[in-house]
Structure 1
């Protein structure tokens, strides 16, 4: 279990960040309806989010750890939320075969594209961590996650100098638009991606990751809020920016008004 100061700092940042970010979140329908995407108040809140991002990087460093917990502190099951069972044909086909045919594709601004099966990922050195999942909806759950460190895969692929972000493409559909099916996506910067606690989890509480919690793979970014931890990962892409990807804000919920940083 990590020390008290780390926990207190995390709680302070989570509380302070929630107080500011909840004002700009798309999930707060009443408030969000009053603010258009070009509203001056929204711009001020976005600027504050960038200030929080820079301040946390400066004050706490790139590898400050989120608090970890003892096994005895796992007192309930990990709560499923958001998408809990993608119904796209390519996903359900994989699910019927227990994801034996699943392959994680890693591409974009890399020296070598990767295509890895679940067995290959599971045979790599694993990391397990018991951490608290903080949802922007206001609930938290302590759970044990097991997976491979994302930094290990980035090193294997070789990240090109112009890459700045990791983009997660997911299987779960968020609805249809005139351009076609809109899939969940999320981005994190390379500092978060290389953090020692950032893993691609295939295990939850010493069991195989359930579909309801994001099987076959979900990312755990332990110093950020839950919506940053993309589930049902289809592929990973290294990119230099995200202004021209979907809504241009770095993630599905960010395109609805949520903060991109979402650090706790």
Structure 2
């Protein structure tokens, strides 16, 4: 019988005590400063935040095996309402056209460093092996909700496509436009960039925005409504990324159902990433394309996700 080829895994370096202590010290320093936005936006603050993120990744990978599971709950603890996070109704015309037909024409594109690029309909995805898990969503803003998710394990989709040897990261391209990029004067662009990184706790929300998203500082004032896209500039859409260790974790799924029903638009229809050992902003909604890559350079501003490009941790482990 022919031996089954070993699935690729991200190579994680052996723990280094001095590196860990340095990272932990950086993490403590940031926590002691509380929510000091000015420090967090400074080069020194950014280095300290990066050290804290490295410590987070180091400790979680040191203490947990790749198969260690996030806690799952009985159905009796499912939240009566699963609060939406991020965008709640993408304004993009292409998405609205798919939604109007209840995603009958939806195709998930899987490409990049794969042997067999895929275009998978919802019917194709539902025909693959499924997993159901009742887990808690922890938002960086401090709220939580428990939901019952059903979807296809990401590992099934990646195995179907076949990873090339240099595959390292999985990038999720989403339908929702967060803002529009336009030509700006250098000073103006620099000022706006500083504003984007000045609120690492996402505390600021518009008054009366309870019906807007969480996990997104600008759900009410940055994400556009139904507008003339061509007149606004280049759309900057939400994206996220994970490494192969998390991609092949058994609880990492592409969810198409929530609490036994088709995923609502406000919660990410037609397809939402669930990577249960990480914070809410990693759970990308409205996933349209999965790209396998060797590096995160060239995506957004290179941080590995929309909010990561604005100062948040790439590895948001819990």
Q: TM-score, normalised by structure 1?
A: 0.87
How do 1:196-235 residues align onto structure 2 when only pairs under 5 Å count? Answer: 196-235=250-289
Aligned to 2:91: 87
Task: Give, in angstroms, the shift of residue 51 of structure 1.
Answer: 2.1
1:48 to 49, 52, 61: 52
Q: Do residues 247 (structure 1) and 301 (structure 2) align?
A: yes
CA distance in 1 between counterparts of 2:290 and 2:37 reads 31
Superposed displacement of residue 75, structure 1:
3.3
Find 1:137's aligned residue among 141, 165, 170.
Answer: 141
Are the counterparts in 1 of residues 274 and 283 from structure 2 also a CA contact under 8 Å? yes
Q: Map residues 168-207 of structure 1 onto 2, 5 A cutoff.
A: 168-178=172-182, 180-207=234-261
Contact 2:154–2:248, Cα closer than 8 Å, also in 1: yes
Q: Return the alpha-carbon distance in structure 2 between the equivalents of residues 182 and 33 of structure 1.
A: 25
Q: Is the 2:39–2:45 Cα contact (8 Å) retained in structure 1?
A: no
**Runs of 4+ with >6 A deviation:** none
> CA offset at residue 224 of structure 1?
0.4
Q: Could you tell me which of 70, 74, 79 is aligned with 1:75?
A: 79
Q: Could you list the runs of 5+ residues in structure 1 that have no partner in the other structure?
A: 1-16
| Matched positions, count | 240
Higher strand share: 1
Higher alpha-carbon Rg: 2
In structure 2, what is the Cα distance between the partners aligned to 1:94 and 1:202?
Answer: 15
1:34, CA displacement in angstroms? Answer: 4.0
Q: Any unmatched runs of 5+ in structure 2? A: 1-23, 183-232
CA contact (8 A) 2:137 2:146 kept: yes
Query: How far apart, in 1, do the equivalents of 2:144 and 2:61 lie?
Result: 24
Report the Cα distance in structure 1 between the residues aligned to 2:171 and 2:100, rounded to whole angstroms.
27
Q: CA RMSD in A?
A: 1.8
Aligned mate of 1:32, from 37, 45, 53? 37
Corresponding position of 1:59? 63
